Amino acid sequence: MSIPTASQAAPIRTVGTAVVGSMGPELRITGPLHERFEEILTPAALAFLTELHHRFAGRRHDRLADRMRRRFEIGNGHDPRFRDDTAHIRDDPDWRVAGAGPGLEDRRVEITGPTDPKMTVNALNSGARVWLADLEDATSPTWRNLIGGQLTLRDAIRGELAHTSADGREYRVTTERTPTIVMRPRGWHLGDRHIDFTDRTGRTLSASGSLIDFGLYFFHNARALIDAGRGPYFYLAKLESSEEARLWDDVFSFSEEYLGIPHGTIRATVLIETLPAAFEMDEILYELREHCAGLNAGRWDYIFSIIKNYRGRGARFVLPDRSEVTMTVPFMRAYTELLVQTCHRRGAHAIGGMSAFIPDRRDAEATARALEKVSADKRREAGDGFDGTWVAHPDLIPAALAEFDAVLGARPHQLDRLRDDVEVTASHLLDLRIGRAITRAGVRENVSVAIRYIEAWLRGQGAVAIDGLMEDAATAEISRSQIWQWINQDRRTEEGDLITAEYVERHIGEVIAQTARTEGDRFDDAADVFREVALQPEFPAFLTLTASRFLTETA
């Protein structure tokens, strides 16, 4: 199928700030058309997005309904397990995934971050092998961030990106060897507040954030990326089942045909960051096998998923302070070792988790201590067989690179390490015993981090440096979900405090009172969002869905 030109695409008309398809299924843009947005929201691109929604929006809603049923079952005592109906996939030793595409062969250090111009330039100059260009957890989904991020990526891929900050500083890409870009679209659960989709039955729904982000990036950049010797590569977030992976694979196959690109050109790396997905790693790889490069251990969202699914199941499923849930506790060790073993059996890269420390050049001693922890974390990952890892800041790249260089040497990966010594059962994945306490400081930290992150998110920032760590939506989810669980499981702190909504409310008041306020800040709104997602009887599946109601386009 050839790419439709603007004249061949479904006719559009402008109504105020809206662009509307004139016939059949249609997309309606409700966000304003800012400077250069027409370069991304072209008639041909909108025709492609419309076709994606026509073909796949219904299946997306089916998969989201599956998620609700699965959470209900776990909440009622039915633990996840390895599926009987897909045992033949796990037991078949012969199938393999497509593996790394051009430019993805060596992934030993990947840097993550949002797609604003400054962060993009910093990432491309960082020296990392891969840049995760994040439109999901590290991006607050304002219209300017989403379409502006697409513009930034378009310019970067064509070598046209330059940025001058408000203080007059110029940012340009200065290195010839830039990281391979792997873009992360929003997860299946997220709609788009700025684009509506009307299906053939006349129903008007929010467009899929996943299809919008993927579709615009792929449509505008696939050929340019291929011509540059790389390709259209994606990180897939929040998957919970092989059926969701199959949906993505069908989206990829259709999109390749639509643009006349060879089948299998797209490569995807799936974040295993939900508890149900940990029980279907083989199946997820299998469904995506013609487009799959690997799996990533999304550690922070994985912890959040554990809490979310087991939040009401009793005291033995309650985790201690967030800082105590490290990668060496039993359920995290089991999950990561199973991921490496599964990947390498199938020829897929295994990518390790995030190091979120932000170096402070004003405190050399504290920075040195923190960098040693980063090195120890990466040393463990490389020793366990991971082929690469994530960092959140360029200053962490040398420490991470040194540990992987020590293990890999000149090799691009260690797929030959099959980890036949690993034996992980369902009970290992659900062994949440840590033996540590909930502390008064842990409660306070969760309240403080969550409110400060939400406040920045409401102002349009999705990745925020807080107390020396880079926080994003995933870490904020841990903070608020722990508070909810501790309240509803009648937990006490190590100091003897009963954790109630009233007790947490006192901490909220202290955080707000001790915060330096500025004109136009969103701390009052952030506190209201936090109360709604952490203190109410109902548990919202994602805090960003609640917070979106408070998000304004002035951000």
Cite the active site residues. 184, 472
Task: Quickly list H helices, 76-162.
Answer: 87-91, 117-124, 143-157
184: which strand partners?
A: 134
CB 282 within 8 A of CB 44: no
Spatial CB neighbours of 350, under 8 Å, sequence gap ≥ 6: 294, 295, 296, 297, 339, 340, 343, 344, 385, 386, 387
Number of C-beta neighbours around residue 380 at 10 A: 16
Number of C-beta neighbours around residue 478 at 10 A: 25
Report the C-alpha gap between 463 and 77 in whole angstroms: 36
130: which strand partners?
A: 110, 180
Best CA proximity match to 314, nearest among 533, 465, 489: 489
Q: Give the CA angle between residues 342, 392, 235 to the nearest 5°.
A: 45
In 228-338, beta strands by DSSP E: 233-236, 267-272, 292-297
180: which strand partners?
A: 130
CB 324 within 8 A of CB 130: no
Report the C-alpha gap between 265 and 1 in whole angstroms: 15
Number of C-beta neighbours around residue 550 at 10 A: 15
Report the C-alpha gap between 24 and 352 in whole angstroms: 45
Best CA proximity match to 481, nearest among 273, 304, 240: 304
